[in-house]
Structure 1
Amino acid sequence: MALHLYSSNRLEILADAFSRLVTDDPLPPMLPETVVLQSGGMARWLSMQIAGKTGICANLDCPFPNQFVDRVFRKVLGGEDFSKVFDRDILQWQLMKVLPPLLSEPGFEILKRYLQGAGGVKMFRLAGRLADLYDQYTIYRPEMILAWERGAESNWQARLWRYLQGRDDCQRGVIHRAGLHGRCLAAIHNGTAAGVFAQGRFSVFGLSSIPPYHLDIMTALSATVDIHFFFMNPCREYWDDIVSGKRINKLAVGFNREPEELHLVEGNSLLASTGRQGRELITLLHERGEWQEHDLFVDPVAEGSGATALEMVQADILHLRSGPDGECGLTGGDGSLQFHSCHSPMRELEVLYDQILKMFADDPDLRPRDILVMMPDIEAYSPLIQAVFSVPEEGVAIPYSIADRKLGNEGVLVRAVQDIFDLGRSRFEVSRVLGILEHDAVLRKFGFSGEDFARIESWLADVNVRWGIDPESKVEMGLPGTVDNTWRQGLDRLLLGYAMAGNGSRVFADILPADNIEGNESEILGRFIEFTEKLFLFTGEIRQQRDLAGWSELLADLLQEMIEPEIDRQQEFSLLVRVIASLAEKQAGAEYRELLDFDVVRSCLDHDLAQGGLSTGFLTGAVTFCELLPMRAVPCKCICLLGMNEGAFPRIGGAPGFDLIAANPRLGDRSKKNDDRYLFLETLLSARKILYISFVGQSNKDGGTRLPSALVSELLDGLKPCRDQAGNGRADPVLRHPMHGFSRKYFDGSDARLISYGKDGYRAASALSAGVPAAPLLCGDLPLPPDIGNEIDLQSLLRFFRRPAEYFCRNRLGLEIDRNGHDFESSESFSLGGLDRYQAGSWLLDKLLSGSAPDDSLDLLRLSGILPHGSVGRAESARLRDEVSAMADRVKGYRSAANAEAEERVVEAGGWRVTGSLIADCETGRQVIYRFAAITAEDRVSGWLKHLFFNCLPGKSEERQTVVVGIDKTFTLDTVDNSREILAELLEIYRDGTRKIVRFFPKASFAFAEKLAEKGEEAAFARAKEVWRGSDFSRGEGGDPYYKLCFRETDPFDREFAEIAIRFFGPLLEQGGRR
């Protein structure tokens, strides 16, 4: 039997060699072909390569290195049932059990100080770090573990390990990998393993790093089976001893010598800087046996053809060249090496989208499957990828898939469950509870629709639920146990409102019934109360301590009662079920039966969920987006790297200060930094036509320059000699993109490298270049509505003139802007202001005018939950009572002579029939309009329309007087002789407003008309624009979302605006009005 080493700079050449091995020397049909790989993505790629060569790939067994070694242990050591006590997850809970009693012993002071005053979560996380280290020690330092067991060391880590080993449920040196490693090697060397492997060979493919632990087992097996190692070697020359320039300079400083005096060779600077991991593997391979070597190198530069920049860089690495050898061959414009600097990750994706379209245009043979896009942090880019590639412009859709997403961050079901977990330690704010209900899986479980959710929001706003389950929950938080604004008060009001009509004044058992539950809404209310009661119950349950099995049972029940996944979310739901069930398995495996707070269990679940990912998305035939991971770079025509920012890549691994591996590094040790450097090198070698590198190189705040990853800078530095030789050394190889996709630079041809296929961007750039103003919502008038007729109710007319743009959008276009629903407060009121004060004052004013006693009405307000609590509430109530009482007296003073009640009336004007209800007395000729607020332009609009309508009504008195009463002022409108003609003219404006957006804005139009009479037209337009724009202290009228939609960036103040303002407010201002 022998060791075979296949070396090539191209992974597909190694795949061909493996395919030939499998086909030329096939195993018996029922035996699987075992090939050790490092990732599932590599397994998928290799199987596709074999199928492409042979027509089929079947019975291919692809274990990871640890899985393979575990199989060898079971085969060689007689199939023993090895205990899992020292598996990482089980070991963490074992440490949770043994650490507390050890903290008081000598030698563990460092841990005692670290955990001083800490809760269980900090202990759990420390146990996790220690479990990780011990797991690594058994693989990377097995001899140290065995020496500890012999008592060779007295440090606290060694003592802690011996304490774990000294338990009754352990057998020394057997149940962990360090002990199994030695026993297995001894069995292989003494010949007891001969004949246990029926395959006759094992293969290792594409690994760029492997610990000596695994290599020892694999090379030892060569005594009984053939071992075929397929290694992607970037260089065909001897390069074990090359040293990076940075390292040479550092050594020169240390030895106080010139760099040349050290006689160290850099070879190729990029290979020396990034290839450390590969050099160490080559050294380890050569130290562990005599290999039959098979060199399969291919020169990237084909003879007789012009080399691209990418091919020349790859060839320099292959031949260990430090720079251009003779004619460099780089023209600098072939597009094989691209560097793109953008202002944000979003712009990186937008630029990539356009550049991929350009690649398809330039190469008709290029397919989506030929493009691989990698980035250091797929989680940060995943929503941006979907935003850009899922909403393509007309007819341009690029198929794509996203791999390596972690369900702990991406899963909608996971987020729903985590929101429920978060609720347990919250104040039960109404926004949090509704946030849970808003998850689709929760809505589906309780049978709610979107309309049901909106109705529930409205109910909760009406009954003023703010936070807190009930008075008892407030007391547990150390706060006064008041029922006001709690869930219990709000739900009781809703239930009582269904049982009895409160009419805003009937109280039962100190509960004011809600008046907004009608008919079959009771079913919705019942399901909502079921939802809240389950949350209340869960909140109480998680405040109790349980063992892991108890938590597993509780959380499994919660999952079944609160979540109903869609069909396409079953994989994610299964992960949740498995992770929760694993709690009980960990208890059984570690025999850990201590009672735990939920915070510890939550930390465990978050860790496990973060490790669980989607197993789909890699190499699916579409453009693949994935994370930059070791052994992930597979050959592709085009490889794109995004997010290559300084500090983001290579990633820095933060080892704890007590990590003994980091303190004494050896060949074969894992290093996140070295892994990433070698991954960059593999990526560079795996690109066949284009290597596309993108980074955030410009600030989107001030436009300042930001540096790319150090690896990108090194690649750029390595290209400079070739650019100099090609005569374009001054040209910046980095393409710096504008901040926006609608920049004119993409379309004016000033830089041929800047391209965009975006039609919207082109239109925007053209408009900006030509100075074309933004178009309004409508380019022309609509026909009159077919059902307009000649009848209208007064309330519709009032709604139109108060907000003409909103009326048009809602009633003609069917457009309704979401104003973000209800803005729920997360705390009780500490003062009565804003909308709450207006609503409370308006309600109280109506009560006083109907004859109710002020104090009785204030008690009803308190029960409604709108008033502040305690002494603040009493003081606010007194102030409100005094203010409302004073306004009620003013209103009564005007109404006493009229004694009017609301009646339905009809008026005919200009061929229109207007119906409406007024609180007016036609016999005495007076109507009184009041509102518990300061008089605004909209009040003047409403008052004027109602006054005109009142003037048109018949009666004994020919005088007609309308009194508008507000908090700050009162104004009076007297008889209008031509009221019917004015009303008819305003009805024509309404008719126009049903087919177009009329330029009437109550505030700006009133300001214009008022200033026009005083200062003239120029001052009037200026004043209208001030009101429209607003100031730093108040929002202008133009900030209304419907005005923004209808007028965009256009100027609404034209002659039509002036004419309508004069037509409406002119007669009103001529009348004057008395204070």
Structure 2
Amino acid sequence: MSPHAAAPSSPPPIVEPAPGEGGLVIYRASRLEALLDPFRRLLDATWPDDPLQAQTVIAAHPGMKQWLTGALAKRMGRQGVIANLEVMLPSAWIDRLAQSRLGAHAVALPRWQRQHLRWNLYQWLGDTAAVPGLDDPRIARFLDAGLDDAERSRRRYQLADRLARLYSQYLVYRPDWLDAWARGQHRYATAASADAQLAVTESRLLAPLWRRAVREIGSHRAEVVAELIARLQREAGQGEARVSVLHVFGLSHLAPAELAVLRAYAEQALVALYLPDPCRDYWGVLGEGAAADWRRTEDSLIAAAEGGDWWRPARHELLARWGRLGQHFFAALLDGDVREDIRHWRDDASPAPANRLERVQESIRQLDESLIVPCAGLDEEMADPSLRIHLAHTPQRELEILRDAMLDARASGIEPGEMLVMAPDIRRYLPLIPALFGHPGDPREPLPYHTADAPVAQAHPLFAAFLRLLALPASRLGAAEVLDLLSMPELARRFGLDAGALDALAELLAESRVAWSLDAAHRGGFGVPALAEHGFAWALDRMIAGYLASDESGEAAQAMHLPDGTELLPLPGLHGEHAAALGALDALLRQVRRLLTRSTQTLPASEWAGYFEELAEAVLRIDREARPARDAWDALKRIIASLRTETAAAGVDPDLHFAVAAERLRSALASAPARQPFLLGGATFSGMVPQRAIPFRFIAVLGLDDGEFPRHVDDGGLDLMARLRRQGDRDQRFDDRYLFLETLMSARQRLHLSYVGEGVRDGQPRNPAAPLAELAAVLARADAAAGEALATAAPWRVRHPLQPFDARYVDGRDPRLYTYHAGHAALRAATPAMPAAVPAPEAPMPDSLALSALKDYWRDPARHLLQRRLRLSLEALDDERLPMNEPIEPHLPRFDSVARRLLFEGALADPAWHPEHAPDWLRLDGRMPAAGAGEEAWRHERELTRLLADALRAQGAVGESLERQRLPIDLSLDLDGRPLRLHGQVDGLLAHPRGGLQLLHLALPRQDANTGRWQDAALDFGKRAAAFLDWLAARLTLPADLPLRYTLSTRKRDAWADALDTADERYRTGDLPRAALEARLGRLIGWWCAAEAHPLRYFPRTSWAAWRAMQAEDATEASIARAARAAWLSGWQRTGERDYAPGYAALLAGDETWAAGSPALRELMDFARELAAALEPGLEPHRPPAGEAGR
């Protein structure tokens, strides 16, 4: 049959070669599975005489190898057996053939492999003067001697690696260039080019460096392949046929040299190629003369494009835009003798397409775009799921949309194992997939799946831990960062830290006030003053000193004066239970110090391998009982050892800066494993890899965003092939376009394409990738030809809402929008109208209640409800939990207890108290900023303390005894017939000079930033309620005749404090019964109990602002709402209550803003009115403000 004979209309004939008869036979089909029948029949017809001799099959890629053996087994049925097939990749087959013919070890000679060659290049680039002719001025600029050692070494490695990649490519596609360079022809490739920069790149960089490589290393792949071809041709000419039949399955590209090997082999034996060909015609190459003309025209277009893209009209636009890689491959096949070229009969007798996907596929198959025009009506097209382009707002939404589409496909009978999901950058989605699809390989999930092409680093947490270690030299070593590092299971296991020890360590770090840096020298490396304070060495010294000199007081000990003249304040309160945490921190910091020292050094590669092995052993420990952990540990050890093995294979042991060694390890961890399984059962999530297009019933491609696909490889202007192209060259852009074509042709029932088509913040449209835009344009033209309704609707384009719970997914109006999420699907049910208010059930009254828990609610209701009742903690988000920086403000935080301690350590006892310097416990414990800011902070705190002392003296509250007392509380209350025990203690009690006790409440005044004047603090509901609860509990506990006064540290006597003292007098005289106090306490407890039923009615600062606004004579609901919002929302240089760290109020209230007229504002106002009445110390009936503001 002629190579251009018409395609048969019945199963293709099988070529049965006579012994010793060769030739190249091509079987084509647009459906890969259609090639299985001729493949199986030819296998049966060509079994070797020796039953133990295997038949050799070359598969395009490992995924094709897996699919081919599985598909053949299915074709054989239950009784059939597939055995004695040796399925190999093209490179492995050529290597073995070369070894058998030439006696060479392999074509891929080790020193010429990229991972080895780069180390030789690295050596030579370190001494360019020793390489004759290597004087490209860009090298000197890129490797500027003025750079620091780390950066210069890193650049040198990057350049060497990039050049190694180029040379590896030229070994396959430009052996003539390499041969000319080796002979000293340094202007061979660019001889006809007028581009001066290209000429410099060749003659002063690539050619001289290659010549040095050939002299040092010797024979390379291109030479061995050429020798192999010549050897095969000599054998054929001499009639020395020593080869068996060869089957080649699934290829869509071969390098010219590899194709030449097949042709030479075919001179001795039959070589059968089973090729997926998207088009049943020959891509416009219809005759020998036409083929030659086509190739000449293509060469001229390539030359004119000068490395850019070029356009050539064809009978199908998509084939013209996407098919260049395959077109060049099939054209190259026709350059030589082809014994038979047979098209599968199904391509000529295809049934009529039944849906959108089949119409597009058939139009490509027949080179007829008119076949895409829909024949069905709008409703049928809207319901057609076979080919859709989905526009999402984020990658997460892409996955949410995909999950629904996959569940819908499964509902239609497509099993997970028949689904493939790809993305140009699969790493973008890997962290999100488990959140939506569950754990990989879990058969209990509705969509079991596995991942391929994932970076090594994402295969196990061990790799992430090691990467964190590599990043430490460039890190500030923040306290939170170190704690997170020690919390990683591999480190916690190595240092013996359980959950309790980690909690203890977190407390130690917070109390020590460590912020960042290892020590003073490390801090100085970041261009700031080299101070030891707030570094880990300083904090660790404080911890160890505190552990050795611990006492029972819980207060900081006196400062230690060390022999080197430094002062150290031991951290108090350390005991035996802290030993594990302290030891782990010390052990880690020792390794970190060694790592930081190493990070400035240059060592031989073999020594770096030894050091990183030691580091891993010293810091990491896996769970030996877990197989994945053992595999990850072995993989990590191999990656570390590659620093030694790669350079040894290159015959060198180069001196590497730490930056180079670390980058090599990081790049190895960031790459996908060279060998990893592709088809493991369940759905497959993978990257887009050339020649992986095998048939699936459901195929999805995510991330088809503009600029993401086709992918672009930056060659830095060094790659001559990018500018001097030839037919048959590999190019990332052409590879990706052809991969998109193969993907479209491989989908059997559904093709799901998606991209981020709308900005999540601005709602602006985003462009799709060029191939997707080209497909959309073709579909749009087809719809326009079918009618205005389809053209307007574009049923194949689906714009998705921002949220997965959008009502459009459940209203059933658009068949393209649906959800399989149980919670969202429940919205389909009719929802009954809600009454204006639905009271939630109140929590039952407990038998016992801690006074501290009661006060916690009134001080911070959001934190109390979420943390203590719902067990939802946001402490990890607390900005103040472990500070990122040392204190720099010239004042101390208002919530600190410094003033209280200063008061009772001297300020109250001595009216002349005015120390020049801060005491040791304040000066050395890390609370004070350094230098002048610290002195100003001390002056500020000293003045604040004196103001408080003066205010208390003015009120007559300072007596001879300043001993603070704690009053145990144990009250049995009867709350409307329900007994309750209130227990705890009241702090801050002092003897009052006029007899009895006083409850001291320190309210810190504020200093006006503009005038410097001090203003008394205002008490909001939170502070009043907590103080009132202390007063009630103490008053009910103390003897009825013992005075209990309330002292507030304000310069002006507070009316509310006076009212409490009045109530105390009435209680002691019997005018105020005990039952009245218990009733008031019971009311506050009752509101605490009902808090979960009314979570938004009380926020201390906002409620107080609303209450204050309600007191105005001209108050309106709008003015009250403005006051509430001003307290709730943040503004210029002020933090609103909603934004208090770590975010409990914002989480509890959501988007509530207390707008005028809202039910939330009315509830807030009503409760503020009730609470104000309950906190009224006079215990008189509450009189509402004039006009009942806001009602």
Tell me how far apart the structure 2 counterparts of residues 746 and 159 of structure 1 sit (CA, whole Å): 63
1:501 alignment partner AA = S
Tell me which of 885, 888, 894 is aligned to 2:949.
888
* Matched residue, 1:485: 534
Tell me which of 323, 327, 330 is aligned to 2:370.
323
* Matched residue, 2:1125: 1026
Q: 1:614 to 1:432 in 2, by over 3 A?
A: farther
Tell me how far apart the structure 2 counterparts of residues 1071 and 784 of structure 1 sit (CA, whole Å): 26
Q: Would the aligned equivalents of 1:37 and 1:63 in 2 still touch at CA under 8 Å?
A: yes
**Following superposition of structure 1 onto structure 2, how do residues 650-729 of structure 1 map, counting pairs within 5 Å?**
650-720=710-780, 722-727=782-787, 728-729=790-791
1:928 equivalent in alignment to 2:996 = no
Q: Would the aligned equivalents of 1:1030 and 1:1037 in 2 still touch at CA under 8 Å?
A: yes
Q: Would the aligned equivalents of 2:60 and 2:90 in 1 still touch at CA under 8 Å?
A: yes
TM-score w.r.t. length of structure 1: 0.89
- Cα drift, residue 372 of structure 1: 1.4
Tell me which of 167, 177, 181 is aligned to 2:225.
181
Tell me how far apart the structure 1 counterparts of residues 317 and 1121 of structure 2 sit (CA, whole Å): 68
1:152 equivalent in alignment to 2:182 = no
- Cα drift, residue 399 of structure 1: 1.8
**Following superposition of structure 1 onto structure 2, how do residues 65-84 of structure 1 map, counting pairs within 5 Å?**
65-80=90-105, 83-84=109-110
* Matched residue, 1:338: 388
1:426 equivalent in alignment to 2:483 = no
* Matched residue, 1:875: 936
- Cα drift, residue 581 of structure 1: 0.4
- Cα drift, residue 1062 of structure 1: 3.4
* Matched residue, 1:904: 967
**Following superposition of structure 1 onto structure 2, how do residues 73-472 of structure 1 map, counting pairs within 5 Å?**
73-80=98-105, 83-102=109-128, 107-117=135-145, 118=147, 119-153=152-186, 157=202, 170=215, 175-191=219-235, 200-241=244-285, 266-299=314-347, 302-303=350-351, 307-324=354-371, 332-333=381-382, 334-361=384-411, 363=412, 365-390=413-438, 397-408=446-457, 411-472=460-521
1:826 alignment partner AA = M
Tell me the secondary structure at the aligned position of residue 457 of structure 1. helix
* Matched residue, 2:1100: 1002
Provide the identity percentage: 28
Tell me how far apart the structure 2 counterparts of residues 620 and 825 of structure 1 sit (CA, whole Å): 47
- Cα drift, residue 36 of structure 1: 2.4
Tell me which of 702, 720, 744 is aligned to 1:642.
702
Q: 1:1065 to 1:10 in 2, by over 3 A?
A: same
2:97 alignment partner AA = V
Tell me the secondary structure at the aligned position of residue 92 of structure 1. helix
Tell me how far apart the structure 2 counterparts of residues 1063 and 76 of structure 1 sit (CA, whole Å): 102
1:878 alignment partner AA = R
Q: Would the aligned equivalents of 1:301 and 1:311 in 2 still touch at CA under 8 Å?
A: no
Tell me the secondary structure at the aligned position of residue 177 of structure 2. helix
Tell me how far apart the structure 1 counterparts of residues 237 and 621 of structure 2 sit (CA, whole Å): 52
Tell me how far apart the structure 1 counterparts of residues 896 and 783 of structure 2 sit (CA, whole Å): 72
Q: Would the aligned equivalents of 2:392 and 2:801 in 1 still touch at CA under 8 Å?
A: yes
Tell me how far apart the structure 1 counterparts of residues 871 and 372 of structure 2 sit (CA, whole Å): 71
Tell me which of 899, 905, 914 is aligned to 1:847.
905
Tell me how far apart the structure 2 counterparts of residues 770 and 1028 of structure 1 sit (CA, whole Å): 36
- Cα drift, residue 78 of structure 1: 1.9
- Cα drift, residue 16 of structure 1: 3.3
- Cα drift, residue 799 of structure 1: 2.9
Tell me how far apart the structure 2 counterparts of residues 427 and 864 of structure 1 sit (CA, whole Å): 21
**Following superposition of structure 1 onto structure 2, how do residues 806-821 of structure 1 map, counting pairs within 5 Å?**
806-807=863-864, 812-818=869-875, 820=877
- Cα drift, residue 515 of structure 1: 1.9
Tell me how far apart the structure 2 counterparts of residues 360 and 547 of structure 1 sit (CA, whole Å): 56
Q: Would the aligned equivalents of 1:328 and 1:725 in 2 still touch at CA under 8 Å?
A: no
Provide, for residues 112-138 of structure 1, a one-character-per-residue CA deviation record: whole Å limited to 9, x for no partner.
Answer: 233234411111111111111111111
Provide, for residues 942-992 of structure 1, a one-character-per-residue CA deviation record: whole Å limited to 9, x for no partner.
Answer: 332333345446669775431111699967332202373134322243145
Tell me which of 1023, 1026, 1029 is aligned to 1:942.
1026
* Matched residue, 2:812: 749
* Matched residue, 2:37: 16
Tell me how far apart the structure 1 counterparts of residues 805 and 1122 of structure 2 sit (CA, whole Å): 35
* Matched residue, 2:920: 859
Tell me how far apart the structure 2 counterparts of residues 221 and 969 of structure 1 sit (CA, whole Å): 106
* Matched residue, 1:731: 793
1:508 equivalent in alignment to 2:564 = no
Provide, for residues 524-555 of structure 1, a one-character-per-residue CA deviation record: whole Å limited to 9, x for no partner.
Answer: 32223212222222222232221100101000
Q: 1:550 to 1:964 in 2, by over 3 A?
A: same
* Matched residue, 2:74: 52
Tell me how far apart the structure 1 counterparts of residues 1047 and 452 of structure 2 sit (CA, whole Å): 70
- Cα drift, residue 214 of structure 1: 0.6
Q: Would the aligned equivalents of 1:959 and 1:975 in 2 still touch at CA under 8 Å?
A: no
* Matched residue, 2:59: 37
Tell me how far apart the structure 1 counterparts of residues 209 and 755 of structure 2 sit (CA, whole Å): 48
Q: 1:845 to 1:445 in 2, by over 3 A?
A: same
Q: Greater CA deviation, 758-767 or 412-421? A: 758-767
Tell me how far apart the structure 2 counterparts of residues 449 and 686 of structure 1 sit (CA, whole Å): 51
1:1066 equivalent in alignment to 2:1176 = yes
Provide, for residues 687-736 of structure 1, a one-character-per-residue CA deviation record: whole Å limited to 9, x for no partner.
Answer: 11222222222222333333322222322333345434544344313122
Tell me the secondary structure at the aligned position of residue 690 of structure 1. strand
* Matched residue, 2:679: 619
Q: 1:674 to 1:812 in 2, by over 3 A?
A: closer
Tell me how far apart the structure 1 counterparts of residues 679 and 693 of structure 2 sit (CA, whole Å): 12
Tell me how far apart the structure 2 counterparts of residues 968 and 385 of structure 1 sit (CA, whole Å): 62
1:783 equivalent in alignment to 2:844 = yes
Provide, for residues 637-687 of structure 1, a one-character-per-residue CA deviation record: whole Å limited to 9, x for no partner.
Answer: 121222222222222333342322122111111011111111111111111
* Matched residue, 2:307: none
Provide, for residues 914-942 of structure 1, a one-character-per-residue CA deviation record: whole Å limited to 9, x for no partner.
Answer: 56345133734544322546443233223
1:731 alignment partner AA = A
- Cα drift, residue 556 of structure 1: 1.0
Provide, for residues 765-795 of structure 1, a one-character-per-residue CA deviation record: whole Å limited to 9, x for no partner.
Answer: 989x99969999x93123333x33xxx5544
- Cα drift, residue 815 of structure 1: 4.7
Q: Greater CA deviation, 951-960 or 87-96? A: 951-960
Q: Would the aligned equivalents of 1:431 and 1:826 in 2 still touch at CA under 8 Å?
A: yes
Tell me the secondary structure at the aligned position of residue 190 of structure 1. helix
1:366 alignment partner AA = I
* Matched residue, 2:1062: 975
Q: Would the aligned equivalents of 1:935 and 1:967 in 2 still touch at CA under 8 Å?
A: no
1:1051 equivalent in alignment to 2:1160 = yes
Tell me how far apart the structure 1 counterparts of residues 447 and 464 of structure 2 sit (CA, whole Å): 29
1:63 equivalent in alignment to 2:120 = no
Tell me which of 884, 891, 905 is aligned to 1:826.
884
Tell me how far apart the structure 1 counterparts of residues 1120 and 1091 of structure 2 sit (CA, whole Å): 22
Tell me the secondary structure at the aligned position of residue 517 of structure 2. coil
Provide, for residues 972-1016 of structure 1, a one-character-per-residue CA deviation record: whole Å limited to 9, x for no partner.
Answer: 332202373134322243145336536444334444555555548
Provide, for residues 279-334 of structure 1, a one-character-per-residue CA deviation record: whole Å limited to 9, x for no partner.
Answer: 1111111213333223224239754x663222222222222224249996796353
Q: 1:207 to 1:783 in 2, by over 3 A?
A: same
Tell me the secondary structure at the aligned position of residue 367 of structure 2. coil
Q: 1:517 to 1:766 in 2, by over 3 A?
A: farther
Tell me the secondary structure at the aligned position of residue 372 of structure 1. strand
Tell me the secondary structure at the aligned position of residue 506 of structure 2. helix
Q: How many residues align?
A: 1051
Give the CA RMSD over aligned residues: 3.9
Tell me how far apart the structure 1 counterparts of residues 385 and 877 of structure 2 sit (CA, whole Å): 47
Q: Would the aligned equivalents of 1:35 and 1:62 in 2 still touch at CA under 8 Å?
A: yes
